[in-house]
């Protein structure tokens, strides 16, 4: 028994040591980790459309694994930065500088200390409010993390369900996933009042960029003539964290405003599109135009109601612009795809494969993969 416990203890120490070394390597070499993730995704792209129908689960497993690995690496790097920030704050604030107080003692410039007075009502109320705000932020972050993980897993789960249980199992999984996502986003909107709800994965990337900028406020400078904020060359984030948008500064970070009235109705219409589309498909069939028209009309109405507001913030305008561009996804949804897009798109790819030698192989791979992608991704509503 003692030998078993000793073996288990050694195994635990070995696992802890390997994990510690791995985290250290990820923090020191984020670009190499990014190259590994990109390589796994590239393999999944190459396998799409080139395997048998029964083997489509392998490309999705690789792509899903790359996304989960990337998300985990981002969390490790962000946690390491937060620990550095906390250690830096604790080392700079030991209660001995310019009248700051620590452990119930005020330390002045001359080194004379006196005990702090007992906390009064307003101070206790402010502390309670701060704790409530921190608890609320933790709950919001957990929900957003759950949404991100579901976004990364849903295609793999849908493909796996189709392989195991056929089309019936596939649609059951799709309905369950979209119902869970709609419920979580509705909780963010109605209970936590987070305002305009954007892409969960995009929010995670912005959070990492925001944390980096808050920790290092001197990563940017302002151009004299134009007043434009530019990131310094030596302060650029790793390739894995870049989204090629402008740097986030402390002044540009704004708190999302609570949606009321017409704008709340518009956001609820946007959140209910996936389940409404699926419900309409259940009523009228997968080949009917009615589900397509209903969901498209909900999207247009939501964007129209949001755009009528005169108090849109910069982040809200960016989110509405992203949603406007995302309307192009409707070109790939049946029955519009089957009627209009499919023939023209495949015709263009065949023409490229026949007339352009260098692009012929790529066009041929896309021509084989697009039908499978359309059948799989058109009902996912991922990041949309």
DSSP secondary structure, 68-122, as one string: HHHHHHHHHHHHHHHHHHHHHHHHH-SS-STT-EETTEEE-TTS-EEEPPPP-HH
pTM, rounded to two decimals: 0.76
Euclidean distance between CA atoms 107 and 248, whole angstroms: 36
Residues 278 and 286: their CA atoms lie apart, in Å, by: 9
Torsions phi, psi for 106 (to 5 deg): -90, 125
Q: What is the pLDDT of residue 253?
A: 47
What is the C-alpha separation between 112 and 101, in angstroms, rounded? 12
pLDDT tens column, 33-72? 888 888 999 888 878 766 665 567 888 899 999 999 988 8
Q: Cα separation of 382 and 26, whole Å?
A: 28
Regions of the chain where pLDDT drops below 50? 95-114, 116, 118, 203, 205-206, 208-216, 250-253, 384
The tens digit of pLDDT for each residue in 212-238 reads 444 445 566 677 676 666 766 665 655
Angle at 307 between CA 301 and CA 309, to 5 degrees: 120
- In SS3 terms, 26-49 reads as HHHCHHHHHHHHHHHHHHHHHHCC
| Residue 227, helix vs strand vs coil | coil
By C-alpha distance, which of 248, 242, 243, 240 is closest to 219?
248
Nearest to 228 by CA among 211, 243, 247: 247
* Residue 85: per-residue pLDDT: 75
Q: What are the beta bridge partners of residue 101? A: 106
DSSP annotation of 113 reads E
Cα 84 from Cα 89, distance rounded (Å): 9
Pairing of strands 220-222, 101-102: unpaired
**Token pair in block for residue 2:** 């003692």
pLDDT of the residue at 235: 59
Predicted local distance difference test score (pLDDT) of residue 242 = 58
**In the prediction, which pLDDT does 325 show?**
93
Q: Burial code of 274-285, b = ≥16 C-beta within 10 A, e = fewer? A: bbbbbebbeeee
| Cβ within 8 Å of residue 383, ≥6 positions away | 151, 199, 200, 201, 202
Residue 214 has a pLDDT of: 46
CA atoms within 13 A on the CB side of 350: 6
Residue 123: CB atoms within 10 Å: 11
Q: Which one-letter DSSP state was computed for residue 238?
A: P
Return the pLDDT at 55.
67
Q: Is the peptide bond before 50 cis (omega within 30 degrees of 0)?
A: no
CA dist 170 and 163 (Å) reads 8
Instruction: Tell me the CA distances in angstroms from 145 to 26, 42, 262, 334, one per residue in order.
Output: 20, 25, 28, 31
Torsions phi, psi for 198 (to 5 deg) = -100, -165
- Residue 104 is predicted with a pLDDT of 43
Write down the pLDDT at residue 210.
Answer: 47
DSSP element (H, E) containing 197 = none
């Amino acid at each position: 028994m003692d030998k078993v416990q000793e073996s288990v203890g050694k195994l635990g120490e070995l696992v802890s040591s390997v994990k510690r070394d791995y985290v250290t390597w990820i923090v020191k070499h984020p670009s190499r980790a990014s190259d590994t993730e990109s390589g796994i995704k590239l393999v999944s792209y190459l396998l799409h459309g080139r395997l048998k129908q029964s083997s489509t689960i392998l490309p999705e497993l690789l792509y899903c694994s790359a996304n989960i690995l990337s998300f985990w690496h981002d969390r490790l790097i962000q946690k390491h930065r937060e620990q550095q920030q906390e250690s830096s704050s604790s080392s700079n604030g030991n209660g001995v500088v310019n009248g700051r107080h620590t452990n119930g003692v005020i330390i002045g410039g001359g080194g004379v200390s006196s005990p702090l007075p007992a906390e009064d009502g307003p101070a206790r109320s402010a502390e309670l409010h701060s704790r409530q705000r921190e608890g609320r932020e933790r709950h919001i972050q957990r929900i957003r993390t759950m949404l991100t993980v579901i976004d990364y897993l849903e295609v793999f789960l849908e493909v796996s369900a189709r392989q195991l249980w056929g089309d019936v199992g596939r649609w059951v999984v799709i309905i369950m996933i979209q119902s869970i996502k709609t419920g979580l986003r509705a909780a963010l909107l109605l209970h936590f009042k987070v305002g305009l709800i954007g892409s969960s994965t995009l929010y995670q990337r912005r959070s990492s960029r925001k944390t980096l900028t808050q920790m290092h406020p001197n990563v940017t400078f302002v151009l004299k003539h134009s007043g434009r904020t530019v990131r310094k060359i030596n302060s650029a984030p790793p390739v894995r964290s870049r989204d090629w948008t402008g740097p986030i500064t402390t002044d540009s970070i704004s708190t999302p405003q609570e949606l009321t009235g017409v704008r709340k109705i518009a956001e609820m219409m946007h959140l209910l599109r996936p389940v409404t589309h699926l419900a309409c498909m259940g009523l009228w069939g997968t080949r009917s135009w009615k589900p397509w028209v209903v969901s498209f009309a909900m999207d247009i109405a939501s964007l129209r109601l949001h755009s009528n507001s005169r108090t849109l913030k910069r982040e809200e305008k960016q989110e509405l612009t992203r949603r406007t561009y995302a309307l192009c996804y409707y070109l790939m949804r049946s029955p519009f795809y089957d009627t209009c897009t499919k023939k023209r798109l495949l015709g263009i790819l065949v023409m490229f494969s026949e007339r352009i030698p260098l692009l012929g192989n790529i066009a041929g791979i896309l021509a084989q993969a697009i039908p499978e992608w359309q059948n799989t991704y058109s009902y996912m509503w991922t990041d949309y």
